[in-house]
Structure 1
Amino acid sequence: MLHFAPNRDIVLIDRLQRAAFDYFLDYSDARTGLVADTSRQGSPSSIAATGFGLSCYPVAVERGWMRRRDAARRVLTTLRFLDGSRQASDRHATGYRGFYYHFLDMRTGERSWNSELSTIDTALLLAGVLTAAAYFSGADPSEAEIRSLAARLNGRADWAWALNRGDTVTMGWRPPGRFLKHRWHGYSEALLLYVLALGSSTRPIAPETYGAYSTAHEWLTIDGAPHLHAGALFIHLFPHAWIDFRGIRDKGMREAGSDYFANTCRAIALQRAHAEENPHGFSGYCRDLWGFSACHAPKGWLQLRDGRRQKLLGYAARGAPFGADDGTLVPWAPLAGLPFAPDDCLEGLSHMLAHYPALLSDGRLPGGFNPSLPGGAREGWVDDRIVGLDQGLAVMMIENWRSGLIWELTRSIPAFSRGLRRAGFEGGWLAPGVV
């Protein structure tokens, strides 16, 4: 999968990938293995960030950043904690019905911030659990225990219960017994969720649920070609972090003559085109500075550098070409986009670091920045948080570009291939006889 790039680019990418991985060493709890949502002091754990971290340990071993036994020990710590944590319907538990609360106390694992029992964040966690288990395939007792625990954790997620007698999966549940009213219906990061829910060997959902989910997909015609629309970049990228969508197609993609990989390539091109057009006249926007996704920012009416007043959205899912846009960008976009548009992303990364060098803190990129807002430097407003999800996505996508490691691992996991086939995916590496 390696794309040949100038040596200076590979050296830079290696440095940024290593720094992003080190987030999971610096911001995880030694006893529970849980990973902090952000670098802010006192941040609770995000179970999704924990799932990304579990997927990144194989990268660290292959890149020589950690010894295999040390990485296995850290994975085992996390899986043992998750396996032994309390599953109950009260508000102080860690999870229920095999699902986990979105945010957990780093040290105790108890529910934090009155968060919901999250189906999508549990899916991201389980994807990491399964990926780690696929990598640690040796005969060593610790690696055998990783595989045993992973199978048990994945098997106890009651996906059928999460339907709440409906035809699509609910977004979550709150104690003592109330499902959230919203469901995963229409193109979203829940593509990964449906693959794992369909692929469960113990409590799966029926194939018809995937059809109910996909009926709400929003298809657009862009330059005469069908495009499955989602404005925010993370929606396109999260499923790709684990699943190699090149050449495999569900019913909708077969009818469109496309696949999810090509669709994401197009989504990145649309984001770059929006930044170049810059319809709102924000500072810095160009084809080499883009990235519209979910991130934090100030909230309320603020004065921009050019004197205009602009409504800032706070935490919001920004998107392009048809989404919220208040001048705030995610700087991790060119790293996470490398498998899809490597030349464009390398140029974008070079441009961003040349023009906004203060974005880097300990070699890591922040959750977001807004160069249209007044600030001490060209960067304008810069988020003081390093976000675990962003760091994990960067590590995994860089590695998928460099070696295809994560995609190779998940192609070998029955839960992934079974779920894709039950969703109606065909072709490519799913074709009979293809390894």
Structure 2
Amino acid sequence: MKTKHHDLIEEIQKRSFKLLMDLTNFNENEKGYGLTLDHNLKLNVASIATTGFVLSGYIIASEYGYLSYDDALYKVKKTLKTLYYHVPHYKGFFAHFVDIHTAERYKKNEFSTIDTLLCIKGVMSAQMYFKDDEINDLANKILKRIDWKSFVHFHQGKYRFYMAYNPDADGDYAQGKSGFIFQWHMLAEQIMLYVIAAGSNQLDKKLALDLYEGFERNLGSYQGHQYYYSPGNTLFIYQYPLCWFDGKSWIDKDGFSWFENAKNATLGHRAWNLRNYKKYKTFSKETFGLTASSTPNGYSVFHAIPSVNGKPLTDGTVAPN
């Protein structure tokens, strides 16, 4: 049954896929085949996370007829070969940014857990959908070489994943020291890390549960909408984990639903926007949400309240959510 906005949503979906295709390298003679730009302001820099979204996009394209099944299958195979054979990794975790033509690590950026996660969720989705022997083999090789334990450490009395690794002391986020960088001590978009790592058979059940329970959970509310919020309370962090995970059908051992948490966060953002619509013409009951996106002043991460510092941040930009 079609909803009121079905046609509009499908048109947005179709245009979004076309944009991603325009930003993806399909040069058969380059090692970067299948990699996708982070954005169109740096035409040589691909994002490993965006590439993961595109891998999932091929499934949608095949189902809706934007591409033929065989064309989508071919593109997925070639992209997985790029990921396995050419994209640099540290213990299975990919470099965040790579050259879109050569697949080489871009400058001295970090090897990222979250961006690798977003990529491999696309890998796993394609593996499940296409059910092709070569795709299955490549996907398994990519997944099995990830050394989850190497990114676990004991921090402030709890087991937590590191966020990233950088071998260069003067590299991105390294702060003058090579090695592991920061840790997932707070709620953010990393929820699926715990699920995928637990399913890898590298972690015993206790450690997997300790990691899931090891990050801080700040409970707050806005106009009656109660939820665990991230320090900055930016909207995308609640949505990314649900892109590949049917959170509506799953709860944790304490009966907690990340789907309901995301829904309440979204409603809280909407309530804040409606309360402040006179300040920004872009805010309305159908255009709302403070998140990370390009803005007239460059890339920004906007956030609502509740938040750790108790202050909202926006310039009125509303990005698709």
Match of 2:160 in 1: 168
- Structure 2 distance, partners of 1:14, 1:286, is 22
Give the 3 Å change call, closer, same or farther, for CA 24–286 of structure 1 in structure 2: closer
Match of 1:389 in 2: none
Which of 5, 12, 27 is matched with 2:8 structurally?
12
Give the secondary structure class of the aligned counterpart of 1:151.
helix
Instruction: Spell out the pairing of 1:173-188 with structure 2 (5 A cutoff).
Output: 173-176=165-168, 178-188=178-188
Match of 2:172 in 1: none
Give the 3 Å change call, closer, same or farther, for CA 329–114 of structure 1 in structure 2: same
Match of 2:102 in 1: 108
Instruction: Spell out the pairing of 1:345-364 with structure 2 (5 A cutoff).
Output: none
Match of 1:48 in 2: 49
How much has 1:23 moved relative to structure 2? Answer: 2.2
Match of 1:80 in 2: 81
How much has 1:221 moved relative to structure 2? Answer: 4.7
Which of 293, 296, 320 is matched with 1:295 structurally?
293
How much has 1:11 moved relative to structure 2? Answer: 2.5
Post-superposition Cα deviations, 1:69-124, rounded to whole Å, max 9, x if no partner, equal 110110011111111126xxxxxxx2121111110000111111421000100011
Q: TM-score, normalised by structure 1?
A: 0.64
Post-superposition Cα deviations, 1:49-77, rounded to whole Å, max 9, x if no partner, equal 00011011111111111111110110011
Give the secondary structure class of the aligned counterpart of 2:220.
strand
- Structure 2 distance, partners of 1:315, 1:26, is 21
Match of 1:59 in 2: 60
Post-superposition Cα deviations, 1:143-169, rounded to whole Å, max 9, x if no partner, equal 210011001101111110011465111
Question: 1:295, 1:316 within 8 Å by CA — same for their partners in 2?
Answer: yes
How much has 1:280 moved relative to structure 2? Answer: 8.3
Aligned residue pairs, count: 297
How much has 1:284 moved relative to structure 2? Answer: 3.2
How much has 1:233 moved relative to structure 2? Answer: 0.8
Which of 117, 124, 128 is matched with 1:123 structurally?
117
Give the secondary structure class of the aligned counterpart of 2:165.
strand
Give the 3 Å change call, closer, same or farther, for CA 22–229 of structure 1 in structure 2: same
Instruction: Spell out the pairing of 1:336-375 with structure 2 (5 A cutoff).
Output: none
How much has 1:318 moved relative to structure 2? Answer: 1.1
> Which has more strand, going by share of residues?
2
- Structure 1 distance, partners of 2:203, 2:146, is 7
- Structure 2 distance, partners of 1:290, 1:163, is 37
Which of 243, 250, 264 is matched with 1:266 structurally?
264
Question: 2:223, 2:268 within 8 Å by CA — same for their partners in 1?
Answer: no
Question: 1:33, 1:81 within 8 Å by CA — same for their partners in 2?
Answer: yes
How much has 1:10 moved relative to structure 2? Answer: 2.5
Give the secondary structure class of the aligned counterpart of 1:246.
helix
CA RMSD in angstroms, aligned pairs only = 2.3
Matching residue's letter, 2:41: R
- Structure 1 distance, partners of 2:270, 2:224, is 19
Instruction: Spell out the pairing of 1:372-387 with structure 2 (5 A cutoff).
Output: none
Instruction: Spell out the pairing of 1:164-313 with structure 2 (5 A cutoff).
Output: 164=153, 167-176=159-168, 178-202=178-202, 206-213=208-215, 216-221=216-221, 226-230=226-230, 231-252=233-254, 254=255, 258-278=256-276, 281-297=279-295
Match of 2:175 in 1: none
Which of 316, 321, 336 is matched with 2:305 structurally?
321
Give the 3 Å change call, closer, same or farther, for CA 164–111 of structure 1 in structure 2: farther
How much has 1:246 moved relative to structure 2? Answer: 0.9
Question: 1:297, 1:328 within 8 Å by CA — same for their partners in 2?
Answer: no
Post-superposition Cα deviations, 1:161-184, rounded to whole Å, max 9, x if no partner, equal 011465111110101583344111
Which of 316, 332, 342 is matched with 2:320 structurally?
332
Which structure's CA Rg is the greater one?
Answer: 1
- Structure 2 distance, partners of 1:39, 1:225, is 37
Q: TM-score, normalised by structure 2?
A: 0.85
Structure with the greater relative contact order (CA < 8 A, sep ≥ 6): 1 or 2?
Answer: 1
Give the secondary structure class of the aligned counterpart of 1:296.
strand
Give the 3 Å change call, closer, same or farther, for CA 174–58 of structure 1 in structure 2: same
Give the secondary structure class of the aligned counterpart of 2:182.
coil
Give the 3 Å change call, closer, same or farther, for CA 298–16 of structure 1 in structure 2: closer
- Structure 2 distance, partners of 1:260, 1:271, is 16
- Structure 2 distance, partners of 1:280, 1:223, is 18
- Structure 1 distance, partners of 2:117, 2:219, is 25
Give the 3 Å change call, closer, same or farther, for CA 221–28 of structure 1 in structure 2: closer
Give the 3 Å change call, closer, same or farther, for CA 224–12 of structure 1 in structure 2: closer
